[in-house]
Structure 1
Amino acid sequence: MTFRQRVALAWRLLRPFTLTASIVPVLIGSALAFGQNRFRTSVFLAFLIASMLIQAATNMFNEYFDHRRGLDTKEMVGIAGTIVHDGVAPRKVLMTAWSFIAISVALGVFICVMSSWWVALVGVLCLAVAYFYSGGPKPLAYTPFGELAASVAMGPVIVLLAYYVQASDITTRAVMVSLPIGLLIGAILLGNNIRDMDQDKLGGRRTIPILFGRERGRRLFAGVFILSYILVLILIATGLLTIWALLVLLTIPSAVYVVRLYYRFSEPVQLHPAVKGTAVLLFRFGVLLFVGMLVGTFVPLQV
C-alpha cells in the first residue's frame, strides 16, 4: 500500500465530515467566552483537538462494534467500512480509537489545570457516551436514545464546557445558544438512521426512524431544522443574540435541499448525499453563527 493510499484510508477511518459535530460546539462556546473577553487560545486549541479526537474515536468504536455484531457488510452504504471494504484489522481500529481517547485525556488534564477539575467529571461522562454509543451490552445506538444522547452530549454539553473552561461560568445565554447546535447534531444521527433503517432492522436496532416509521421520521427530521431556525430568531428577539445572527438564515436553501432528498428517496445509496449534506449544513450554520456572534461583539446591533 502506497503512502497516498494509507493517508486516504486513515481519512476514511476518521469519517471527516462527521467531525463538524465536534468542531461547531467548540466554536460556539468559545465565541460566547470571547464576547466576555475571557478567551485563551491555548485552552481553545486543546479543547478543540480533544473534542475532535473523541468524535473520531466514537466513529472507530462504532465501526469496530458494528463489525463484531455483523451489522457492517460489503453491501453497506456510507462512510464506515474500512474493516469490511479495505481489510483493516478490527483490533487496529479499536487500538487507534483508544489511543485517541488517551491523547484526549492528556489534553483534558491540561484543560483542567487551566480551568477546574470539575471539568474532568463531565469529561468522563462524555467519554462514557463515546464508548457506550456503540459498545457495551446495550449500545445507545441500538435504542431510541442514540440521537438524544448524541444531541445532548455533543451539543449543549460541549458548548457549555467550551464556554466554562474559558469563562468559569454557565449562563442562561450559553444554555439557550447551545440548543440549536444540539438539534442539528441530533439531525445528523437521525438522518443517518433514516438512511440505514432497513439494514438496522435486520441488525436488531430500535432507532427512532424504526419506531416512528419512515414518514414520521422524515417529518421529525424537517421539524428539527425548522425548530433550529426558530430558536435563533427567538434568541435574537430576546436580545440573547444580536441581529448579526441572522447570517444563519443563509443556510435555509441548503436545509430545504437536504429535506427534499429525504422525501424524494428511500434507497440508502441515494440518501447518502443527504446525510453528508446535513453535516455540511451544521458546519455552515455553526460557522455563520460563530461569525455573527463575533461581529456582534464589536458591532452589537439589536432588533
Structure 2
Amino acid sequence: MNQRSHTKQNQPVGWRVWWQLLRPHTLTASFIPVLIGTALALPSTPIHLPLFIAMLLASILIQSATNMFNEYYDYKRGLDNKDSVGIGGTIVRYGVSPRTVMNIAISCCVLAVLLGVYICMSTSWWLAAMGTLCIAAGYFYTGGPWPIAYTPFGEIVAGLFMGLIIIQIAFFIQTDTITTSSLLISGPTSILVGAILMANNIRDREGDEKNGRKTLAILLGHEGAVRFLAGMFILAYLWVLVLIILGMFPPTLLLVLLSVTKAVEAVRGFAGQRTNVEMMPAMGATAQLNSLFGILLAAGLLLNTLIM
C-alpha cells in the first residue's frame, strides 16, 4: 500500500469529520463549569433538571460554535492548511465548504439562544445579556476586525466567560442568587480553562507569530510560556487549598489533588519540545487536567452535601 492510500484510509469519514469540527478536546471547557455551578447549588435547593440540561446544552453549543468560527476565520486568514496540527480540518483537509461551517456555527448559536430563552423565562431575563456576551466573545475570539486570538488576552477572556460566568449562571438558575462562595470557587476552573488556551498557543506559537498574532505564549517565548502554564496549574491547586484552610469550603475538595499527575504530565510534555506534533500529547494532558480537576471538584462539593 502506498503512502497516499495509507493516509486516505486513515482519514476520518462520515460523522467523524463533523465530530472533529467540534474539536472535542476543548468541550470540557463548556460542561465542567456547568457541573461545578450545579454541584455548588445542591446544598441550597433541589436541582431543576430541565434547567440543568438546557444550560449544559447551551454551553456546549456556544463552545462548538466558537470552534467553528475559529475554523472558518483561520481558514479565511490563511492560518490553516492541510498540514496544520490541532484543527478540525473539515475545510482544508476534507473539502467542507467554509460557508457550511459558518452556517453550522450560526445554527449552534440560534439553538443556544432558544435554550437561553427557556432559561430566562424560567429564571431572569437579566441572563439574556450574559448569554449574549458569551456568544459575542465566542465570535470575536477569531472573528471581527480585531480578533481576541491575535492578542495576549485570549486566556483571560476564555477563563472569564467559560469559567467564571458559566459557573455563576449555572448556580444562579438553580438558586436565584450569586454568592461570595460561587465567585470564589470559580477561580481554579477559570484558570484551567485559560490553561487550555495557553497550551494551544504554546503548541502553535511559531506559526501564530509568522501570521501576525501576539499571543501571550509568543510574548513569553516557549520556555517562559511553559513556566507560566506551570504557574497556572500551581495557582489553581493553591486556590483550592487556601479556600479549605480559610474554612470557606470543606476538605472534601482535596479530591482535586488526585489530578496532579496530569498537570505534571502536561508541563513535562511541553518542556524541551518544539514541533507541533511533539507537543500534542501535552495539549491533550492539559485538556484532560481541566476535565479531571473539574469533575473531582464537583465530586468534592457533592460528597460534602451527602455527608452534611
With normalisation by structure 2, the TM-score equals: 0.95
Query: Is 1:254–1:281's contact at 8 Å kept on the other side of the alignment?
Result: yes
Query: Is 1:183–1:228's contact at 8 Å kept on the other side of the alignment?
Result: yes
Query: Aligned pair 1:23/2:31, yes or no?
Result: yes
Match of 1:208 in 2: 216
Shift in Å, 1:240: 2.2
Query: Is 1:38–1:167's contact at 8 Å kept on the other side of the alignment?
Result: no
Match of 1:294 in 2: 302
Distance 1:79 1:142 in 2: 17
Query: Aligned pair 1:232/2:240, yes or no?
Result: yes
Percent of residue pairs identical: 49
Match of 2:95 in 1: 87
1:66-89, Cα deviation, whole Å (9 max, x unpaired): 000000012211133211111111
1:147-174, Cα deviation, whole Å (9 max, x unpaired): 1101111010100111011111111100
Gaps of 5+ in 1: none
Distance 1:35 1:142 in 2: 42
Match of 2:230 in 1: 222
Distance 2:47 2:98 in 1: 40
Distance 2:306 2:89 in 1: 46
Match of 1:59 in 2: 67
CA RMSD of aligned residues (A): 1.0
Distance 1:34 1:208 in 2: 37
Shift in Å, 1:267: 1.0
Aligned residues: 297
Match of 1:78 in 2: 86
Query: Aligned pair 1:125/2:133, yes or no?
Result: yes
With normalisation by structure 1, the TM-score equals: 0.96
1:82-111, Cα deviation, whole Å (9 max, x unpaired): 111111110000000000000000000000
Distance 2:218 2:13 in 1: 37
Query: Is 1:46–1:107's contact at 8 Å kept on the other side of the alignment?
Result: yes
Gaps of 5+ in 2: 1-11
The residue correspondences of 1:173-212 to structure 2 (distance < 5 A) are: 173-212=181-220
Distance 1:233 1:80 in 2: 37
Secondary structure of the corresponding residue to residue 12 of structure 1 = helix
**Of residues 262, 282, 292 in structure 2, which corresponds to 1:254?**
262
Distance 2:272 2:264 in 1: 12
Distance 2:246 2:307 in 1: 17
Match of 1:276 in 2: 284
Distance 1:34 1:6 in 2: 40
1:253-295, Cα deviation, whole Å (9 max, x unpaired): 1110111011131211110111111111111111111111001
Distance 1:9 1:35 in 2: 42
Query: Is 1:164–1:170's contact at 8 Å kept on the other side of the alignment?
Result: yes
Match of 1:100 in 2: 108
Query: Is 1:145–1:207's contact at 8 Å kept on the other side of the alignment?
Result: yes
Secondary structure of the corresponding residue to residue 71 of structure 1 = coil
